Structure 1
C-alpha cells in the first residue's frame, strides 16, 4: 500500500529467496530466476559469502547474457576476499564465451583451494544435486580454456586429471582425442580408486554404510566429515539407513510427513527447508534437496512427565518379574505365559510401567477399571505382577503368597501347553509375545510414540500365519548398482574406443566397434553420425550417405556433422538430394553454419563458385572456429584460380583446428599448382602425419616427388597408397601413377603389368588406354600401340590432338615423359 512502510526482512528472507531462485532455475524459468536473484542481491548488500552474486551471475549466464555474468561475478573473484567458487566458475565460463581465456584460467587457479579435493561422484539424483562444481568439472573447464588459448600440453594435463577423478567426463575424453593425445580407452573407462573411495556402494559392497540402529544424533555428527567420505553423506539416496530421518518419521520429505514425526534430539541441528546453506561453507552444506516438501519447523512431541520413584514394595515387585506375568483366562483362572520373548518384554515393561493411576497397557491406552461382575477382556492384559487388590499393603506375608500363586500357575500353564501344543506349533514365540487386543500381527519397534495396533477382522477369528514360505531372494542393491556402473563403463569403453580410433583415422577399426554396439545404442543420432564420418574418410560415399540418411530419420533436428553429409552428396553428384537437404537445414535453423555449408556445396555442384564462397563465408561468420567451412571456401577459390585467397582460407582453417588435415592438404594443392613442389610436399606430409591412413595423401606426395624427379621415392609412396587402401576405386590412381613412374624409369614391362590390372578395373578410362599405347610403343609392338591409341581417341575425343601426335611418332625412339599435371 502506498504510504506504508515495508517491514524489515528477518533472517529467513534471504534463504527463502534462494529457494525461490533454485525453483525457477530447476524449472527453466530463467527470467523469473533473474528477477528474484536481483531482489536477493539487493537485499544482501554485504554478501560476505558471495552466494547472491553467484546466483545473479548464474542467471545471466543461463540467459546467454555473457557480459553481464562476467561483470557480476568478477568482483567476487578478484577482490581481496577469498574467491567464491561458484562465482569463479561462472566467471571462467563467461570468459570462455568472450574469448578471454587467460582471465578465466587465472580465476579458476585463484580458487583452487575451494575446488581442490571436491568429488561429487554419485551425489546427484532426481531429487538431489550440488550447485557448486567439483574438481573434475573445474579441471575439465580448465582444459577447455587452455586448449582455446593454444596451450595444448596444459589442456591435456587438465583433461587427464579430470578423467582420473571422474571417468565419466565424456567431453574431456573427446577433447583429448581431438587434441591427438595417445590414450588407452580401456584404462580410462574403469572405476578408479578415486571413484571407489567416493562411492561407498562400490567400495564396501553395502548399502548401509552406517549402522541401522545408529541414533539420529550420531548420524548427524558423522555427517560433518569431508565430502569424500560419502559413507557419511546424508543426501545420498543409495546409502540411507533405517535411522535416516529423510526416510522415516520426522524427515524432510512428503512420505515422512505422512508417516508422522519423531522427537529430534537436542544436539541435532535442525535444518529449515527454506534455508539454503552457504556455498563456501563446509562441503556437506552445499546440497539442495529439490523435491522434498517440508514445513519450516518440525513438529516435536512434548516430553513425558518423569516417572515416580518406586517405593520399596514396588522394587520388590520389580525383582519378582523374572517369572512370566499372569493373566486371567476366560474361566477366571490365572494363566502364566512362559515364552522367552514374552517374559523379556514383560520384565522390561514392568520396569517402565509402575503401578500408578496412569498405568497403561501394551497398546498404550489406560485400561478401564476392573469390574468384579464381568470377566476381563483378553486385550486388557496387565503388565504388572499381581492384581491391584494384592498390593494394597506392604505386608511381607502377602508377597510370599504371591510367589506361591505364581508357582502354582506355572505348573498349570505347563499342563495347558501340553494339551494345546498342536494348535500353536507353527507360531513364533516373538509373535505371540506381542499379541495385543486380539491382533496377531507383530508389533514394530519404533522410536516415536507407540501407535495403537489395527485390529484386522474379528478378534476371535484373527490367527497367526503359520509356516510362511520364503519368497524369492531379494536382489542386493549394492551389487545391482555396481553392475549398473560396470555396464555404463563398458558402454563408454566401446563408444570411447570407436571415437578414439576415428580420431586417429583408424576408420575400419572404428566401424567394427560401432557396429558391435547393441541396436538400441547403434541406431542413435550420435553413433550413426560417427559411422557416416568413418565411411566418408574411407571414401565409401554410398555407405556414408546411407548412415547419414538414417541419422536424419532418427534425429531430424540434429545439425552436427551435416556439413560432412552435404560433402558426401557433392561427391556423389546428387544435386537433387543436396538441394533438398539445404532447404531443410536452412528452414530448421538459419543461424546454423552446417546449413550454410550445405547451401554452399549445392552452389558448388552447380559450378556457381562465387555464390558458394559467399555461403561459406556466412558459415564462418556464424562460427569463427568452424574449420571445415574455411576449407570449403579455399576449395572454391582454387576452382576460381584465386590462390592467394585460397591460402588465406586454408590458413584460417588450420588456425581454428591444428589437426584439421584438410587445411594442410589444401595448402599443398595450392603450392603444387603454383609449381612450388618442395613446399607442397611439406604440407602434404603434415596432412599425412595427422591422417596416416589416407591413400590420397600418399598419392599426392608421390606425385610431387615424381615432378621433382624423385622417381624411386615416388614409387615408394604409390606402393604405400596401394597398401593403405587396396580397393579398386582408390588403388587405380596409385597404380596409374606407378605405371607412369615405371615408364619414366624405362621399365615398360613392369608398367604393362600395372596397366593390365587397371584396364580390368577401369575399362572406360581413356588415360589407361593411352598409357597402354605408349607402353607397347616402347616395347616395339606397333599394332597393339595403334589399337590402344585408337581406343583412347574414341573414349576422349577432346584429347585428339595429343593422341594423334603420339600416333604420328609411333616409329620414333623417344623417352617417356609425363607432362600430365594432375597425374590422373
Structure 2
C-alpha cells in the first residue's frame, strides 16, 4: 500500500503547528520510510529539531548527501546547537579544500533565506573569535532584511556603532524580500521580492489555511478532496510553497476564498481569534500604563509610531471590508476612552501587512498602504535600536530618555522596562532600577532575562527578603536557566554564605557555559573568600566568553590592586574604562592606582573627572580627600571631607580622616572629638587604626612621624576599599 505523500505532509505540518511533536515525528518517520525523498528527509529532520532533538536531526542529515540550501541551513543550525562550530561553517561556506563562498555567493544560493543564513554564519564567526567577519555578516543580513533584530543586537554587543536610523529602513527591500523564507524543495519557487507575499507567508497564515481545510474535510467536504489538500494544507511554514505543486500562494488563497468565508475576527498578529485568544472576548487589548514615568526624562509620546500606516488604512477601508469583516463592538469596546481607541492603530497596521492573497500583484510595485504600515514597524525598530545602542555604549542617560519616550503600549513591556532598569543599574541608581525591575516582575512574572541584574540590585540595596523570594520563584520556575542560579547565588552572598553562593554560581555556569555574568559573580565571590587565583581564572573566563564584559576587566584590576601589582591593575582598569567610559567608579579606581604609583597630580585629575560624572559618588570624594591630605593640602582635604560627611553621615573612616586632618592642623580637641565619633560608629576601630591614632594624640609631632604616620595615610586608602561603602567595589558587577 502506497502512502499518498501530500496528505501526510499536510498532517505533519498541522501537528507541528499545534505543538504535537510526537505525532509529527511519528508521521514524518512513516512518510520517510515510504518515500525517501528530499522533501521527506527535510520534514523529518525539522520534526526532530523542533521537538528538541537536535542531535537526531544532525545525525539524520549527516547520513545523507542532500546538498539543497534548505537542508544545509538546518544542518548548520544543528551544528551550532551541538557546539560543532567548525562543521557548521563548513556546511554553509565550504571546507578547507574547497574555495570558501563569499557573501554574494550565499545570497545567490540561499535566496530568500540568505539573511538568516548570514546571521547564523556571523554567530559562528563571533563564537570562534572572528568578530570582524561576524560583524560583516550581521550587516549584510540586515541589509537584506531590516526586520531582523538579533543581527543588530549582536552588532551592538560587539561594540559596532550600527546606526539604527540607517539599518531599519525599507530602501534595501526593493531587491529583496521583507521576511525571507528558506527556498522551496520543489522545482518552482514562490516569486520573491514582494512585500505583500513576504508578510503573508507565515506559519499563522498556514495555520489558518490548515484549520479551514480541516473544517471542510470534517463534514463540509467539497467535491474534490485532493484539491482541498493542494490548496491549503500543503503550504509549509518554512517555504510558503506547495510541496510537489508549483501553484502560487495567491492562486491558492483565491481558490480557498471561494470555498470558505473568513471568520469575522482577527488577532493582533493577523491570525484567527480562535487560535490566539488574547482576551476573553477575542479582541486584542493594549495594556494601559500603570506607572508614572521616571523623573528627569522626556515625557513619552502619546501618538503612535504607526500613525502614517493607520491613516492609509482608512483610505483602503473599502478594500479591507471585503476581506476582513468588522468586529461587532461589545460593551467594553463602547466604554473605551479615546486614548484606548487610538491604540488600535498598531492592530490596523499589522493587519495591513497580512493582506489577503487575492490582493497580491506579483509584478506590481509595493502597494502604498503596505509600505506605510512597514514604515511604521520600522520606525518602532529604529527607536528601540537607538535606545539599545545607547545602552550598549553605556550612554545610560540617553538610553533612558529614548526608551522612556516610547508609546505606552511598548513602554509597558518587560523588554523595555528591563533595559531601562539595566541603564539605572549601570548608573548605580539602584532605587530607580529596583522600581522598574519590580514592575517587570508584576507584569511578566515569567521573564527571566535581566533578573540576574535585578538580583544584584537587591544585593546592593540589602533587601534580603525580596531577593530570597525572587530566588525561590525563579528556581522553581526554570532550573535550566543561568539567571535563576545567579539570583540564588546573590541571595546567599548577601547572607555571607559564600561557600553556598559559589556552588550556585558554578551551577549557573554548568547550565550555560557562555553566560559571562555568572563567571564574574563567581570571581567576586572568590575574592570575598581570599581565593584570588581562582578569582583571576573566573574573570579571564568571562573575558573569553565576552571580550566587552567590562565587569570582568574591572575584577582583574581589583585583584592585581590587592596584590599591589599597580601597573597591571591600571592596565586592566583602563581596559574596562575603554568599554564603559562613563563609569565614575572605574575612574575612581584608576585614580587610586595612580596615587599608589606616586602620580598624585594625575590621580587628582582623574578623580576630578570622576566626580564630574557623578558628583555624589562618596568613594571618589573620599579618595580625593585622602590624596589631598597626603599632599599636605589640609584645608582642601577638610572641605572635601565635610561635604562627604553630608553624603555618608555614618561612615567611620570619614570621621577618622577628619580627625587626622585636625591633628595635623594642631586642633587636638577637634581631632579627639572626631576620633571618638569614629570609634562609636566602628567599635572595632577599622583594624585598630582609629585606636592607634587616639593613643598617639599626645605624642610629639616628630615622634608621631617616627612611628610611621605616612604609612597610616596610605593604609587609609586600602581600608577605604574594604570598609567605606564596601558595595562600591561591586558597583560594576
Contact 1:699 1:733 in 2 (8 A): yes
Cα shift readout 1:179-214 (whole Å, capped 9, x = no counterpart): 1111211111222233576579xxxxxxxxxxxxxx
Distance in 2, matches of 1:282 and 1:29, equals 21
Contact 2:2 2:34 in 1 (8 A): no
What aligned pairs does 1:511-660 form with structure 2 within 5 A after superposition?
511-660=400-549
Cα shift readout 1:60-116 (whole Å, capped 9, x = no counterpart): 11111111111112245xx3x6x1112111111111111111111121224989962
Contact 1:119 1:227 in 2 (8 A): no
Cα shift readout 1:255-293 (whole Å, capped 9, x = no counterpart): xxx9x99xxxxxxxx976676699799999597799969
Give the greater-gyration-radius structure (CA): 1
C-alpha spacing 1:20/1:224, structure 2 compared with 1 (3 Å): closer
Query: After alignment, is 91-100 or 697-706 more displaced?
Result: 697-706
SS in 2 for 1:192: helix
Distance in 1, matches of 2:448 and 2:198, equals 42
Structure 2 counterpart of 1:803, from 668, 677, 693:
693
Cα shift readout 1:366-411 (whole Å, capped 9, x = no counterpart): xxxxxxxxxxxxxxxxxxxxxxxxxxxxxxxxxxxxxxxxxxxxxx
C-alpha spacing 1:237/1:793, structure 2 compared with 1 (3 Å): closer
Distance in 2, matches of 1:56 and 1:199, equals 28
Corresponding residue of 2:72: 88
Corresponding residue of 2:141: 162
SS in 1 for 2:480: coil
Cα shift readout 1:472-523 (whole Å, capped 9, x = no counterpart): xxx9994432332122111111111111111111111111111111111111
Distance in 1, matches of 2:234 and 2:460, equals 62
Larger helix fraction of residues: 2
Structure 1 counterpart of 2:20, from 7, 13, 29:
29
Contact 1:789 1:807 in 2 (8 A): no
Corresponding residue of 1:777: 663
Post-superposition offset of 1:16: 2.8
C-alpha spacing 1:665/1:273, structure 2 compared with 1 (3 Å): closer
Post-superposition offset of 1:752: 2.7
Cα shift readout 1:340-391 (whole Å, capped 9, x = no counterpart): xxxxxxxxxxxxxxxxxxxxxxxxxxxxxxxxxxxxxxxxxxxxxxxxxxxx
Cα shift readout 1:194-251 (whole Å, capped 9, x = no counterpart): 3576579xxxxxxxxxxxxxxxxxxxxxx9898344399699699xxxxxxxx9xxx9
SS in 2 for 1:819: helix
Distance in 2, matches of 1:671 and 1:113, equals 48
Matched, 1:794 2:684: no
Cα shift readout 1:683-719 (whole Å, capped 9, x = no counterpart): 1111111111111111111112212222122112211
SS in 2 for 1:590: coil
Post-superposition offset of 1:119: 9.2
SS in 1 for 2:22: helix
Distance in 1, matches of 2:644 and 2:196, equals 73
C-alpha spacing 1:229/1:536, structure 2 compared with 1 (3 Å): closer
Structure 2 counterpart of 1:103, from 67, 87, 92:
87
Report how many residues are paired. Answer: 575
Distance in 1, matches of 2:700 and 2:452, equals 50
Post-superposition offset of 1:599: 1.6
Distance in 1, matches of 2:29 and 2:253, equals 25
Matched, 1:54 2:18: no
Corresponding residue of 2:341: none
Structure 2 counterpart of 1:669, from 558, 564, 577:
558
Matched, 1:753 2:658: no
C-alpha spacing 1:790/1:291, structure 2 compared with 1 (3 Å): farther
Corresponding residue of 2:7: 16
Query: After alignment, is 497-506 or 676-685 more displaced?
Result: 676-685
Matched, 1:678 2:642: no
Distance in 1, matches of 2:247 and 2:153, equals 30
C-alpha spacing 1:611/1:231, structure 2 compared with 1 (3 Å): closer
Contact 2:10 2:233 in 1 (8 A): yes
Matched, 1:818 2:714: yes
Query: After alignment, is 280-289 or 685-694 more displaced?
Result: 280-289
C-alpha spacing 1:804/1:56, structure 2 compared with 1 (3 Å): same
Structure 1 counterpart of 2:164, from 169, 178, 185:
185
Post-superposition offset of 1:776: 2.9
Corresponding residue of 2:309: none
Contact 2:659 2:672 in 1 (8 A): yes
Greater relative CO (CA pairs within 8 A, separation 6+): 2
- Is there any run of 5+ residues in structure 2 with no aligned partner, and where? 95-100, 180-186, 203-208, 224-228, 260-351, 356-366, 725-733
Distance in 2, matches of 1:787 and 1:273, equals 88
C-alpha spacing 1:199/1:740, structure 2 compared with 1 (3 Å): closer
Structure 1 counterpart of 2:127, from 142, 148, 173:
148
Corresponding residue of 1:211: none
SS in 1 for 2:714: coil
SS in 1 for 2:693: helix
After superposition, the CA RMSD in angstroms is 3.9
Structure 1 counterpart of 2:52, from 36, 60, 64:
64
Cα shift readout 1:290-326 (whole Å, capped 9, x = no counterpart): 996979xx9xxxxxxxxxxxxxxxxxxxxxxxxxxxx
Post-superposition offset of 1:796: 2.8
Corresponding residue of 1:74: 62
